[in-house]
Structure 1
Amino acid sequence: MVIRTDYADERAWRALVATLPQQHIHFVDAPSWSGASIDDVLAATRDADDLSVVFLADTATMRSTPPALLALTTLTPEDCEDDEDYARLTESGPTFRTTPAGIPDIHANLSLGNLGFEEYAAWAGENPDGVYRSA
């Protein structure tokens, strides 16, 4: 799921959508999401059982070249065994940035359980600009 939260530049949005694989991505392009915060997105997606990550097309995404979407885990402390487990799984933070090319890789591996959000967040953190790039 890619949620658009910045509506300042329609051309940037269309260019971003053109770079994203159209298959298996649900685009949320509704002005009611304009300026939505991470907490707003988490609250709205909390009950989606099959959704482990959402991608935000926020202001930073629309202004970066190339665009880097904000990946946000939907994992909450209630989803974990205990606080220590949650801390481990979000050690690198609950968000990281990714290029559009990274979305299929992230989504597929999280869905299959091959890799965890924390691994992608750590890989993003290893890059000087903090952006995950698919190999």
Structure 2
Amino acid sequence: MSEGLAGRGDFDAVVIRTDYADERAWRALVAALPRQHIHFVDAPSASIEDVLTATRDADDLSVVFLADTTTMRSDPPALLALTTLTPEDCEDAEDYARLTEYGPAFRTAPTGIPDIHANLSLGNLGFEEYAAWAGESPDGVYRSA
């Protein structure tokens, strides 16, 4: 999967497709995504651990978005935003716990990808802030304002 990251532009968000059961659902998801700055990676049946291992050494990649089984079955689709942050990236265990206070993943609408990716890349906002906002919504999905 890490070879799938080759050719990613500096400002591209990464959408990793792990579910291939419904091609129509995939096409609808792609149509709902922003048109620019999205890099697609095919990773059939990859687990979250596989994704984290493959993205660990990617430069400037603090979050990836998974088009998993839940994404493909939800209407409207909601991708899994997954932080690439590891305990080793933090000052200590307390820092890691604070930055992943709401968990290492949350769901986002396709329209949330540019906002999340840009703000995390620039350091304007943290993953934990987006995860908290997702948690506050009735369906647990972040939607960009």
Superposition TM-score, scaled by structure 1 size: 0.96
Q: Number of aligned pairs?
A: 132
Displacement of 1:94 in angstroms is 0.1
Output the amino acid matched with 2:126: G
Q: In the TM superposition, what whole-angstrom CA distance separates every residue of 1:1-53 from its partner, at most 9, and x where no partner exists?
A: 0000000001110110011112111011x3xx222111010001000121000
- Asked if residue 64 in structure 1 is aligned to residue 74 in structure 2, the reply is yes
- Asked if residue 119 in structure 1 is aligned to residue 132 in structure 2, the reply is no
**Corresponding residue to 1:10 among 19, 23, 38:** 23
Q: Give the structure 2 partner of residue 101 of structure 1.
A: 111
Identity percentage of aligned residues: 87
CA distance in 2 between counterparts of 1:119 and 1:100 reads 18
- Asked if residue 81 in structure 1 is aligned to residue 91 in structure 2, the reply is yes
Q: Which runs of 5+ in 2 are unaligned?
A: 1-13
Query: Equivalent residue of 1:101, what SS?
Result: helix
Query: Equivalent residue of 2:52, what SS?
Result: helix
Superposition TM-score, scaled by structure 2 size: 0.89
Output the amino acid matched with 2:139: D
CA distance in 2 between counterparts of 1:58 and 1:22 reads 20
1:32-43 map, 5 Å: 33-43=43-53
- Asked if residue 131 in structure 1 is aligned to residue 144 in structure 2, the reply is no
Tell me which stretches of 4 or more aligned residues in structure 1 moved more than 3 Å: none
Output the aligned Cα RMSD.
Answer: 0.7
